[in-house]
Amino acid sequence: MKPKTKIQHRIAELRERLLTSTYENEWAFEYCLEHRGFATKNRVICMDCGNKFSTELVSRKRAVCPHCSTKLTIEKTNKRTDKQLAYFTTSEICEEFQVVRNYEVYGDYRVGSKKNTCLREISQFWIHDNGKVEVVARVLHSGWQGNFFSGDLEIRNKYNMKKYDVYPDGIYPKSEFKPKFRKYGINSKLKGLTLFEAMTIIPNESKAETLLKAKMYGLLSLFNNHTNSVYRFWNSIKICIRNKYQVSINNATIWTDYIELLDFFNKDLHNAHYVCPKNLKQAHDKFVLKKQEFDRKVEFELKKKKAIEDQKKFNELKSKYFGISFSDKKIQIKVLESVEEYVKEGEFLHHCLFANSYHLKPNTLVLSARIDDTPIETIEISLEKFKVLQSRGKYNSETEYHNRILKLVNKNMNVFRNIKVA
Ligand SMILES: [Zn+2]
């Protein structure tokens, strides 16, 4: 898009003056791309220089390449080529603007040759001293393989400009920051937010500033998409800060989920014992199970309530079959005589007996096959054709007694036929 406004024309003019140094390229290749060694039983290939060396140099998945002295992370694989894509951000001062610049970094690696690396600038955020922001970027395409950029760096529509931002693998350490950003603690050590996010969010959010100054990068990352959680649980976050309890960036939403569960169960959200668990994942999972159990109980209570409501209709339909039972000594088969029995049978065998309202079907009847009063399979018979429609055990499977149960029911089918006729 061609520059239209005064500020856009100013940016078009200043863009020519932006720094381009090769030093930051070298830093990006070194710091943002991983240095990998691909190892088989017999050799290691340094993917940085393409040369082979002995596996004896590997210790705890690390090695220093004897050819190029690169520190490598060793992976066991037969692969002979590799590709990497990473991102980095630099920031510089350009007259009345703070400029944040995002880059893609590529690495192409193959056995026998030195790595090929290149980088490409993908977006720039121009933040004016007066707070106004413009974006200069390539065209962003969203494809099924993810997002990619093409075309030239141009001034783009400001609507949804966040989409041109990327979370970087590193921020160039010699980046420059205007004093108004430095005073909030925004510098190249930032994590959890992108520089552009930090510069637009932190001046307006004292809570974000507090988290940044406390180096709580994980919780700071919540300002990306979960600002409400920060506000809601701020008192608990203060407990984390006081106890220097670090939540990693990857675990930040797990922590808020966990606090939400604590809140649900009325636990003390000011108590470090709950708020700062030693093993967050374990504590989270424990409360997830507890919540599932709780939900199951609520659902069961609702079912029971419905069962009481359904009981009258059920009696009208089925009471003439109540009391029927027969056995072959080991297996006992009986008619289910109340809706509650349907609920319990369905819960115990984990099938949809009650959920699908089998108790209100006018033309079928449900029987339970039991051994020592423990349900084994549930049988549905037709009251029109007097045959077994289905017989199912736990999770709708068939048990080892399946054929024996069918035989027993068929042998006694006349009991039902006679009642129907009467
Ligand atoms: Zn090497």
Q: What b/e sequence results for 50-68 when a residue is b if at least 16 CB atoms lie within 10 Å of its CB, and e otherwise?
A: bbebeeeebeeeebebeee
Q: How far is the CA of 175 from the centre of ligand 1 (A)?
A: 30
Tabulate helix, strand, coil % of the chain (nearest 5): 40, 25, 30
How far, in Å, is the centroid of ligand 1 from the Cα of 58? 13
- Calculate how far, in angstroms, residue 114's C-alpha sits from the geometric centre of ligand 1: 8
Q: Report pLDDT for 321.
A: 93
Ligand 1 centre distance from Cα of residue 78 (Å): 17
pLDDT at position 85 over 80? yes
pLDDT bracket for residue 50 (50, 70, 90): very high
Distance between CA atoms of residues 83 and 359, nearest Å: 61
Arithmetic mean of pLDDT, 80-102:
96
Could you give the CA distance from residue 216 to residue 222 in angstroms, rounded to a whole number? 11
Ligand 1 centre from 201 Cα, in Å? 43
User: What's the gap in Å between 86 CA and the centre of ligand 1?
Assistant: 20
Q: What is the CA radius of gyration of the chain?
A: 34
Question: How many A from CA of 216 to the centre of ligand 1?
Answer: 37
Q: Ligand 1: distance of its center to the CA of 116 in Å?
A: 13
Would you state the pLDDT for residue 422?
A: 64
pLDDT digits (tens, 9 = 90+) for 53-72: 999 999 999 999 999 999 99
pLDDT at 143: 78
* Per-residue pLDDT, 259: 96
Region of poorest pLDDT, from 108-112, 126-130, 351-355: 351-355
145 Cα: distance to centroid of ligand 1 (angstroms):
31
What rounded mean pLDDT belongs to the chain?
93
Whole-number Å distance, alpha carbon 35 to ligand 1 midpoint, is 9
Section 228-246 average pLDDT: 96
Q: 65 CA to middle of ligand 1, Å?
A: 5
For the chain, percent of residues with pLDDT exceeding 70: 99
Distance (angstroms) between ligand 1 centre and the Cα of 115 equals 10
Lowest mean pLDDT among 22-26, 184-188, 342-346: 22-26
Assign 304 a pLDDT band (cuts: 50, 70, 90).
confident
Q: pLDDT tens across 262-279, in order?
A: 999 999 999 999 999 999
**Amino acid making up residue 185:** G
Has residue 243 got a pLDDT over 80?
yes
CA distance 124 to 55: 44
Ligand 1 centroid, distance to 68 Cα (angstroms): 4
- Residue 36 alpha carbon to ligand 1 centre in Å: 9
Region 119-143: mean pLDDT is 94
Give the count of beta carbons closer than 10 Å to the beta carbon of residue 373: 8
pTM (two decimals): 0.76
Q: DSSP 3-state assignment of 389? A: strand
User: Ligand 1 centroid to 70 CA: how many Å?
Assistant: 6
Percent of the chain whose pLDDT exceeds 90:
83
The answer to whether residue 19 scores a pLDDT higher than 80 is: no
Distance 64 CA to ligand 1 centre (A): 8
Confidence of residue 144 (pLDDT cuts 50, 70, 90): confident
Rounded distance from Cα 352 to ligand 1 centre (Å): 62
